[in-house]
A and B are shown apart, each in its own frame.
Chain A
Amino acid sequence: MNEQRATSNEQLEAVIGLEIHVQLSTRTKMFCGCALSFGDEPNVHTCPVCLGHPGTLPVTNQQAVHFALMIATALECEVAPRSIFHRKNYFYPDLPKGYQISQYDIPLASGGRLGDVRIHRVHLEEDAAKLVHLGESGRIHGSGQSLVDFNRGGTPLVEIVTEPDLRGAAEARGWAQLLRTTMKQLGVSDVNMEEGSLRCDANVSLRPAGTKELGVKTELKNMNSFRFLERGIEAELARQRALLDSGEGVSQETLHFDPRTGSLTPLRTKEYAHDYRYFPEPDLVPLAPTEVMLAAARDALPELPGQRRDRYRDELGLPEELATQLAFEAELGAYFERVLAEATDGAEARAVANWVTGELAAELREAGEEDPGRVEPGALAALVGMVQAKRVTHGAAKQVLAELVAGGGDPAQIVEARGLAQISDSGELEAAVKRAIEANPEAAERVRDGNAKAIGPIVGAVMKETKGRADGGEVTRLIREKLGA
């Protein structure tokens, strides 16, 4: 067994690589004509081929190849002129043929990049069936009976393997989310981690910072949400750090993450230590994408997160961080695009971006909602436009937004009905300022003496009287004018 010992008290650096399985949302399975499904009655989407009946043969799904080529192109990979399917042999009830058709030494594509992380390889394979273990543990050991649901068996999968370029748990989570957004934008998968259409394993190791050699790694499995991915890696890094500190060293093994307890338990050797006896699948011809197929994959690519970030930054003038957030968070970005499309009367992109990522996000959190689409994009566009035209103050607009989140409606009507329109009559505002100065003589005196901060209570009094309908800048200007400050 490989072991690694740390020399005393060096700074240790995390080295993380991810293996992601993406279930493709094709109409039919990878090698037969059965429909893809989730949550249907067990064993209704099966045929002799995906049940592994004697004499059956696989036929490669063209749509799956197209999707995989789209993924490879989006990840800037080099597509192999002829990739080979292999048989990966092992016995398990979820594997009807006793082997999985996968790719081995010549994958579909290799050598790409997404964000700051290099992609090692991208390959096509078929998913296993689903085992349902009856009994408390939910795992095969200790269960009295296991049932097999072959609906999932044969679902097309793309496996994406990164280089070990990630340096922390949060970074890994962030990158995995970027990958998810990319897949979602490509439209090739449902990318739902809870339903298993996106699955993520992590290879984790530590090494003295600044060194090049890789430490002994462990493989983490079963992290079925981004939060668990981050927590699992954090827990494993802490465990490895403790082992190295104690001088014990890390052993290479595969660990199962239990999200309920946050603990990592080694898989029994039998569950993973296989000699898979890979050999070329004789039932399939090599996969040799034609120029037409490659061009079709390129043409099918939508704007990808990286490109979208650049456009937001360069064309819309958004700051880098805001551009990245909107580009990498698919739902938010899509919503932003819709609001922008509706913003015909003067709402600027940057203001819309700030409202979507700031005020709206906060209101949604407050209301315990997730979907920004609760607020009609047109309504938000109109509201931001009103703020920019100084027809409603920022503060009042937040009240309107809260109503939009709660029950929808037309922002102009809400402003009208609730009397939230910005005070545009200078006489009305001047009178309110005068009353506020009179009510706060001490503060007024200090402002006259040159203490700028003392203006606060007077502004507050104006805002209170006008119920937030006054423009803060204008109020301050009027107070200063009246006090000769």
Chain B
Amino acid sequence: MQEILELTAVDAGRRIADGEISGEECFAAWAAAAGGDELNAYLWRASAETDGRSSRLPPVAVKDIFCTEGVPTTAGSRILEGYLPPYTATAVRRLAGEGAHVLGKTNMDEFAMGSSNENSGYGPALNPWDRERVPGGSSGGSAAAVAGGLAPWAIGTDTGGSIRQPASLCGIVGMKPTYGAVSRYGMIAFASSLDQCGPLTRDVADAAMLLSIVQGRDPCDSTSVGVDGGVELPTREDLSGLRFAVPTGLDMDGVETGVRATLEATLSRIEELGGEVGETALPSAEHGISAYYVIAPAEASANLARYDGVRFGIRVDAPELDAMYEATRDAGFGPEVKRRVMLGTYALSSGYYEAYYGRAQRVRTRIAEDFRAAFEEFDFVVTPTSPSVAFGLGDKVDDPLSMYLNDYFTVPMPLAGIPAISIPAGLAEPDGGGPQLPVGFQIAGPAFSENAILDAAFALERAIGFDARPPSS
């Protein structure tokens, strides 16, 4: 039993295929582990009997933003309390089709709006490295479950960093694929032009395997195209001939000392493996946060209009229609969701559209052009994933701006639509002292360069040899 939990998903899949272990016992082992959730990582868990027999791969922890037929799906919001979707998201169906069934639905910031999981309508998930600290967000439940040994692997969604940042804060691998690589059908929309589904896993090979299953064109999503030729398991052992660029346009002033030191060490490691490290400008990337916090709320303000109490989710009755809308949305949405819906509504309103939304879209185009220019000279752009290691619960809840700055290094990639991975690069103390906590290293590449990114990350992962585990409690 314990041995099964030690296996990576790739290895477990091989052993099931070879008949060394059964899919049923693999599922049961993980269902039992998930049952011991003390991190509030799960909002719903499958029972051991459910899908065990048809398992050909270990079960998957699924962020509660993916619709699962007949299984509660809340997107971390009270407004969807009790909602049972009538259909299943494409990514989840593809996983089930390969014999990887749903292990549980993981906690998240409400409608994926947040970087700490503290915006969940069901209480925050906790960081397994230090339960006084946040796991990051919004896919914090998925990251905590994988890092805390409660799930072999997980899927999450990334809009401005929601896979990579929690992966970084929890010491695991997280990847945001190219926009259009994975179907968004059944993924509850936050910001439709940015949202992408991706893996949160123990290692790079597991991320590749999971991505190879979920990627692909889906007739239900007009914006999906898949990765041409599919995603392969990585094999690369060195980085010779590959050029890595550190963007000078992104300010390192707000980055913690320990995180900066880890970045430097990782860049040296790249050179040791034969890679070249240089600098690129990305002059517009620093405006990413500003553009992101106009575009994402604008799209969210429309995407969240359907939660009106008429057809599903909660309804707070009132004598007039408008009063019913107001009471329902007031009771169902948390403060961050309300803030962003108001921001977005304002940014799209007549007379302000050009000044906000129009301008933000132009910044977005410039950022995409910056990356295109960088990729003419370099194979990858690399940054710290997050400016800091995991911070304390409650530290930033009253300061939305400082919370938004968590996304400083992760926001430019979804704005440009390009893929990026975060891998654990070491441990560091937070500024001002504290426990040793994981630090993530981000590698971004051109659109649909998933295989190249995974290969480079695979080689680097081996060289780094990160094998720290959260202290067992």
Contacts and interface: CB of A to CB of B under 8 A. Distances in A.
A364 to B, nearest CB: 48
A146 to B, nearest CB: 8
Contact of A97 (B185, B188, B191, B306): B306
A91 B305 contact: yes
Contacts of A279: 298-299, 302, 348, 353, 357
B220 A59 contact: yes
Interface string A91-115: 1010011110000000000000000
Interface in A56-71: 56-60
B85 interface: yes
Contacts of B185: 55-57
A411 B275 CA distance: 97
A284 B222 contact: yes
A267 to B, nearest CB: 16
A99 B348 CA distance: 13
Contact of B306 (A98, A148, A275): A98
Given A48-B86, A277-B349, A59 B306 contact: no
B85 A55 contact: yes
B222 A98 contact: no
B313 to A, nearest CB: 9
A98 B85 contact: no
Interface residues of B, number: 46
Contacts of B86: 48, 53
A93 B349 contact: no
Nearest to A49: B220
Interface in B180-208: 184-189, 191-193
A59 B183 CA distance: 13
Contact of B67 (A55, A99, A148, A282): A55
Contact of A59 (B222, B322, B348): B222
Contacts of B73: 54
Given A57-B220, A277-B348, A282-B299, A52 B186 contact: no
B95 to A, nearest CB: 16
Contacts of A275: 349-350
A89 interface: yes
A58 B192 contact: no
Which label, helix, strand, loop or mixed, suits the secondary structure of the B interface?
loop
B348 A89 contact: yes
B305 A97 contact: yes
B10 interface: no
Given A96-B311, A283-B192, A55 B306 contact: no
A279 B321 CA distance: 26
B302 A87 contact: yes
Given A98-B305, A279-B298, A58 B222 contact: yes
Contact of A283 (B75, B222, B321, B345): B222
Interface string B49-86: 00000000000000001110000010100001001011
Contacts, number: 107
B222 A53 contact: no
Nearest to A148: B310
A51 interface: yes
B337 to A, nearest CB: 14
A284 B223 CA distance: 7
B306 A96 contact: yes
A262 to B, nearest CB: 30
Contacts of A140: 321
Q: Which has the most chain B C-beta neighbours within 10 Å: A51, A56, A59, A60?
A: A56
A98 B223 contact: no
B321 A93 contact: yes
B87 to A, nearest CB: 5
A285 interface: yes
B89 A55 contact: yes
A89 B300 CA distance: 12
Interface in A412-469: none
B391 interface: no
A283 B85 contact: no
Nearest to A92: B321
A275 B348 CA distance: 9
Interface in B218-236: 219-223
Contacts of A52: 306, 311
Given A97-B305, A277-B348, A282-B193, A57 B312 contact: no
A52 to B, nearest CB: 5
Contacts of A56: 87, 185-186
Interface of B: 65-67, 73, 75, 80, 83, 85-87, 89, 184-189, 191-193, 219-223, 298-299, 301-302, 304-308, 310-312, 321-322, 325, 345, 348-350, 353, 357
Given A89-B301, A91-B325, A93-B310, 10 more contacts: A52-B311, A54-B83, A54-B312, A59-B221, A91-B322, A97-B302, A98-B304, A277-B345, A279-B357, A283-B221
